[in-house]
Structure 1
Amino acid sequence: MAGQAAQKLLQAVRIAPEIFQLRPDYRALLLVVEGIPPGPSDDSTEALLQQAETTAKDLLSKHPVTEIPHIAAWREAYKAFGAKPQKTRNSLEALTRRVEGGLPRVNRLTDIYNAISVKHQIPLGGEDLDQYDGSPYLIRATGQEQFHTSSGGEPLVENAAPGEPVWCDGSGVTCRRWNWRQCPRTALTDQTTRVFFVLDALEPLSDDALTVAADELASLLKNLSPEVQTAQRLVTASTQSDQA
């Protein structure tokens, strides 16, 4: 079941042409992982996080965080749709800035994907597929799309800003500003077993580097249990237009 359903979901994912008009170099490597055994942080995830911290600290010793190549590319992309990158940081930059004080230790699944994001310097988001409604799609917002979040522990509904890239499902916006903030509804929890991952790339990051990161993430999750199954798809301007 996992294989067919995962492939069907991946083939149904759509990225709107205006996303590629904004950044023709944008690529999304989509990864569906099912059968993940939930668990707390452990020695293996601690080692992964420490390795990621070491890699990032080495980068930070050579460049200011804003000049690390892929982070710099994402800052430019944010400016292009009207976000202020010093105020609204993409997920990769936000995590990399936490390296000096130590990356968060959350649970086994979250620790693994945070470590891959920082180690490979790729923004990486994860959505709980059991909380998902229909097929994922990435568009530029009109300003009418609702984003359900929370503030001070209270539910809050915001509208996406006109022009910002938003990932959506049938129930609304799941992630704002490409890879900035996820809605609580589809966030990964200690009970999550099925995940839709998005690995985001801009130049100068290569397709090969993107695939290496996704393959390492899939391999680490497969090592948790023989029940784990994965499927992936790379979406680019050319592959999306082929299927439009």
Structure 2
Amino acid sequence: MTALTQTDLDRFLAGARITDPVMALRPDYRALLLAVDRVDAGECDAASEDLLRRAEASAAEELTSRPVTEVPHVAAWREAYRAFGAKPKKVRSSLEALMRRAASDGLPRINRLTDVYNAVSVLHQVPVGGEDLHRYQGSPVLTRAAGDEPFDTTAGGEPLIDHPEAGEAIWRDDVGVTCRRWNWRQGRRTALTTSTSAALFIFDALEPMDDDALHAAADVLVEHLGAGASARRLLPGD
């Protein structure tokens, strides 16, 4: 695929936005968007495996002294999910789901890009999502769902076009939903694969996470991606 320029990445991020109804749910919310090109994709390797093992050890240590629901960053997301009607016992943020898996059965091994950002998510206790930038149509928007937006997913191992519930916080592009319930489940259409060459990573933050911690997590991810070019934007407010 044709390499993206720095201007391409900046233009893509310039169109990103968070709508007012989402900010009304959690005025403390910020999103750090990281767009990268010429990433080091492929199958799982020794470097990604090492990062996953470090994340698993970190989660296990964290959860020896308290349950996952009392980890401050997890608790904040449980409150945010309740704000739009989701039940945290049934629907968990990506951070909570990963920390539970990391401390018990271990993190999934999917592909190098997904494994790396999952590990960074656990190590820095921040929800992170990864999307194939070339499969995006338009720029990312975080909004509340009308309920008729298409969501490309699977059920019972078979492809399925589903729809979010009205009022859900969803990430979407011009075509449809890319991630439901803020950071609960990502769709197939924009999923990272071993052939991904450009990617978008979204870091979701609520208090007590500050902007410096967000950027620090992004720095670690960039370090492990081997990207040829990158751009980032913090929303809202810049």
TM over 0.5: yes
Question: In the alignment, what sits opposite 2:43?
Answer: 40
1:134 CA drift (Å): 1.1
Question: In the alignment, what sits opposite 2:172?
Answer: 168
CA distance in 2, matches of 1:39, 1:155: 23
> What TM-score, normalized by structure 2, do the two folds share?
0.95
Confirm whether residue 64 of structure 1 aligns to residue 67 of structure 2: yes
Confirm whether residue 18 of structure 1 aligns to residue 30 of structure 2: no
Question: In the alignment, what sits opposite 2:219?
Answer: 215
Question: In the alignment, what sits opposite 1:242?
Answer: none
Aligned with 2:205 (options 201, 205, 230): 201
Question: In the alignment, what sits opposite 1:177?
Answer: 181
Contact 1:33 1:195 in 2 (8 A): yes
Partner letter of residue 51 of structure 1?
R
Confirm whether residue 80 of structure 1 aligns to residue 65 of structure 2: no
Question: In the alignment, what sits opposite 1:102?
Answer: 106
1:157 CA drift (Å): 2.3
Q: Calculate percent identity across the aligned residue pairs.
A: 55
Q: What number of residue pairs does the alignment pair up?
A: 234
Query: Which deviations, in whole Å up to 9, do the C-alpha atoms of 1:60-79 show, x marking residues without a partner?
Result: 01210111110110001001
- SS of the equivalent of 1:170 reads coil
Contact 2:42 2:193 in 1 (8 A): no
Query: Which deviations, in whole Å up to 9, do the C-alpha atoms of 1:103-143 show, x marking residues without a partner?
Result: 11222211111110000011000110111111111111122
Contact 1:40 1:107 in 2 (8 A): yes
1:153 CA drift (Å): 2.6
Of residues 4-13 and 93-102 in structure 1, the stretch that sits farther from structure 2 once superposed is 93-102
- SS of the equivalent of 1:234 reads strand
Question: In the alignment, what sits opposite 1:51?
Answer: 54
CA distance in 2, matches of 1:30, 1:136: 9
1:182 CA drift (Å): 0.9
Of residues 119-128 and 32-41 in structure 1, the stretch that sits farther from structure 2 once superposed is 32-41
CA distance in 1, matches of 2:108, 2:148: 34
- SS of the equivalent of 2:121 reads helix
Contact 1:221 1:228 in 2 (8 A): no
Contact 2:32 2:203 in 1 (8 A): yes
1:45 CA drift (Å): 1.3
Aligned with 1:118 (options 102, 118, 122): 122
1:102 CA drift (Å): 1.2
Segments of structure 2 that go 5 or more residues without pairing to the other structure are none
CA distance in 2, matches of 1:146, 1:174: 9
> What TM-score, normalized by structure 1, do the two folds share?
0.92
Partner letter of residue 80 of structure 2?
A
Of residues 71-80 and 151-160 in structure 1, the stretch that sits farther from structure 2 once superposed is 151-160
CA distance in 1, matches of 2:228, 2:156: 36
Segments of structure 1 that go 5 or more residues without pairing to the other structure are 240-244
- SS of the equivalent of 2:195 reads coil
- Label 1:158 to 1:39 Cα distance change in 2 as closer, same or farther (>3 A): closer
- SS of the equivalent of 2:161 reads strand
1:155 CA drift (Å): 2.5
CA distance in 1, matches of 2:54, 2:157: 34
1:149 CA drift (Å): 1.5
CA distance in 2, matches of 1:152, 1:106: 18
Query: Which deviations, in whole Å up to 9, do the C-alpha atoms of 1:81-114 show, x marking residues without a partner?
Result: 0001111111111111111211112222111111
1:200 CA drift (Å): 0.3
